[in-house]
């Protein structure tokens, strides 16, 4: 840790909240260099949905490496890429009509968001993009311009333009339907808001506090996008790849986004891989208009194909996520009721948030939890929500151990 303090930039962040040297990991457990076992409810901010060093995926990429198959080939065709697209189309997109095309972007989620914004502006010839309060889409200029957090926005140090923020579902409480407000603004030619190229949203806001949009609200937004000639972009970077109980977070609402953005758990192994799914009729870019050196990294594609083959060929895995999510939610709700203080629980599938209402309670609880052997992050406008993103493959024993540590840490915090 001393080396980090001496040599690593002050901008480092997770190493401050979880001060230990992590040397090994498997499934939902990480080991520190001094021999401590820590249960991981952060899962690489949702990049490790299938757990650390997933056995089946590790076997596939090890074999690929040993065979001297092409690892880096820019975006040239390789068997690994072809197999990924075939597998993703036949297993994951089977239910999606019309067909989507794959656009491989640079390795970060932020780069994929840039690509999505760029494409929507080209398709519509418009500049404005509607994004939502508490949304988070990444750190590059276009992506941060669409993100709500003032701390991150200010850190950019330059004007952030091209977006208009609208209130997310529930922003004013349950009595106000913010989709009605948005419709009124969009259809009023004198509202002062330019018609958008796209409406960009997360169906559950991850960084923003595990805010869950209702099915009806999502439907209204999709209808509105159609009515005003804007594309609907779903940022499924954190909530996709099974996190909410289906592969895509919008399946429960039967949405048909024009663009879907995937990253984080797409490779299934923590290897960087990002892409857009775009509807065929909006595939209008010229060759190389969005390019990048590391697009469609073959090792990550092999990992992604394996994850799909192992987990998504039947419904069993998705049912398991929903079942485990339900158990976890019930236990968290019991904790919330038992300890009062206005605590509440929200989320979908295995993306759950415990709203402590007061930032200091969330901070002290996660700090104590780490001392006792649990990694859980905070989110929300003031970091007042404890965020639970366990691996989707977690066993119930480990899950319950983690929840017990959380509850004990909360009790200890409240005692002070
Ligand atoms: C993490 C995240 C991003 C940004 O991805 P990076 O790989 O960190 O650039 C964008 N949108 C959402 C919803 C995210 O959770």
- Determine the pLDDT at residue 3: 83
- Centre of ligand 1 from the C-alpha of residue 388, in Å: 17
pLDDT at 51 over 90: yes
β-bridge partners, 103: 276
Name the residue of 110, 211, 240 whose CB sits within 8 Å of the most ligand 1 atoms, as the mutation to test its pocket: 110
- Determine the pLDDT at residue 96: 76
Name the residue of 47, 136, 241, 295 whose CB sits within 8 Å of the most ligand 1 atoms, as the mutation to test its pocket: 136
Provide the pLDDT confidence category of residue 1 given band limits of 50, 70 and 90: confident
pLDDT at 169 over 90: yes
- Note the pTM of the prediction, 2 decimals: 0.98
Pick the residue whose CA is nearest to atom 5 on ligand 1: 109
Taking the C-alpha atoms of residue 25 and residue 37, their distance in angstroms, rounded to an integer, is: 9
Which residue ranges have their beta carbon within 6 Å of ligand 1? 45, 108-110, 113, 136-138, 202, 206-207, 235, 237-238, 263-264
Distance of CA 357 to the CA centre of its chain: 23
- Determine the pLDDT at residue 416: 82
Taking the C-alpha atoms of residue 140 and residue 146, their distance in angstroms, rounded to an integer, is: 10
Ligand 1 atom closest to Cα of 113? 10
Give a three-class secondary structure readout of 332-373: HHHHHHHHCCCCEEEEECCEEEEECCCHHHHHHHHHHHHHHC
pLDDT in tens, 133-145: 999 999 999 999 9
Cα–Cα nearest to 241, from 263, 271, 269, 211: 263
pLDDT at 95 over 90: no
Taking the C-alpha atoms of residue 30 and residue 223, their distance in angstroms, rounded to an integer, is: 45
Ligand 1 atom closest to Cα of 202? 13
pLDDT at 97 over 80: no
- Determine the pLDDT at residue 250: 98
Provide the pLDDT confidence category of residue 4 given band limits of 50, 70 and 90: confident
- Centre of ligand 1 from the C-alpha of residue 271, in Å: 14
Name the residue of 146, 238, 243 whose CB sits within 8 Å of the most ligand 1 atoms, as the mutation to test its pocket: 238
Average pLDDT over residues 154-174: 97
- Centre of ligand 1 from the C-alpha of residue 137, in Å: 5
- Contact status, residue 197 vs residue 127, Cβ threshold 8 Å: yes
Q: 269 exposed, middle or buried (CB, 10 Å; 0-12, 13-18, 19+)?
A: buried
Ligand 1 atom closest to Cα of 110? 9
Average pLDDT over residues 249-276: 98
Ligand 1 atom closest to Cα of 138? 4
Domains present along the chain, CATH in parentheses? 2-54+315-415 (3.90.1150.10), 58-311 (3.40.640.10)
Q: How far is CA 388 from CA 43, 244, 262, in A?
A: 9, 12, 20
pLDDT in tens, 323-380: 999 999 999 999 999 998 899 999 999 999 999 999 999 999 999 999 999 999 999 9
pLDDT at 7 over 90: yes
Question: In the predicted model, what is the mean pLDDT of the chain?
Answer: 97
Q: CB atoms < 10 A from the CB of 407, how many?
A: 18
- Determine the pLDDT at residue 125: 98
């Amino acid at each position: 840790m001393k080396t980090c303090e001496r040599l690593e930039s002050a901008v480092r962040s997770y190493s401050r909240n979880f001060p230990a040297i992590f040397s090994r990991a498997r499934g939902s457990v990480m080991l520190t260099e001094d021999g401590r076992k820590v249960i991981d409810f952060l899962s690489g901010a949702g990049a490790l949905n299938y757990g650390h060093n997933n056995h089946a995926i590790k076997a596939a990429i090890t074999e690929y490496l040993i065979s001297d198959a092409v690892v880096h080939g820019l975006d040239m065709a390789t068997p690994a890429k072809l197999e990924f697209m075939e597998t993703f189309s036949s297993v994951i997109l089977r239910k999606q009509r019309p067909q989507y095309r794959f656009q491989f972007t640079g390795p970060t989620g932020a780069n994929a968001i840039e690509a999505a914004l760029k494409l929507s502006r080209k398709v519509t010839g418009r500049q404005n993009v509607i994004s939502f309060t508490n949304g988070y889409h990444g750190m590059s200029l276009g992506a941060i311009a669409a993100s709500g957090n003032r701390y991150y926005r200010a850190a950019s140090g330059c004007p952030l333009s091209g977006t208009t923020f609208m209130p997310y579902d529930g922003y004013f409480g349950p009595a106000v339907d913010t989709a009605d407000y948005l419709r009124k603004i969009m259809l009023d030619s004198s509202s002062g808001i330019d018609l958008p190229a796209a409406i960009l949203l997360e169906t559950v806001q991850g960084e923003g506090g595990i805010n869950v949009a209702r099915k009806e609200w999502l439907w209204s937004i999709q209808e509105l996008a159609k009515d005003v000639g804007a594309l609907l972009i779903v940022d499924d970077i954190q909530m996709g790849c099974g996190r909410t109980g289906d592969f895509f977070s919008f399946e429960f609402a039967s949405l048909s986004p024009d663009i879907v953005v995937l990253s984080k758990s797409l490779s299934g192994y923590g290897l960087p891989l990002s892409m857009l799914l775009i509807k065929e009729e909006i595939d209008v870019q010229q060759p190389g208009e969005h390019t990048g050196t590391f697009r469609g990294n073959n090792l990550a594609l092999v990992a992604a194909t394996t994850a799909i083959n192992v987990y998504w060929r039947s419904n069993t895995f998705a049912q398991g996520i929903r079942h485990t999510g339900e158990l976890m939610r019930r236990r968290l709700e019991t904790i919330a009721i038992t300890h009062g203080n206005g605590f509440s629980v929200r989320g979908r599938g295995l993306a759950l948030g415990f709203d402590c209402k007061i930032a200091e309670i969330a901070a002290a609880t996660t700090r104590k939890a780490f001392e006792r052997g649990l990694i859980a992050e905070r989110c929300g406008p003031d970091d007042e929500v404890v965020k639970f993103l366990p691996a989707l493959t977690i066993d119930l024993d480990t899950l319950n151990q983690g929840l017990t540590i959380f509850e004990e840490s909360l009790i200890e915090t409240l005692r002070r």
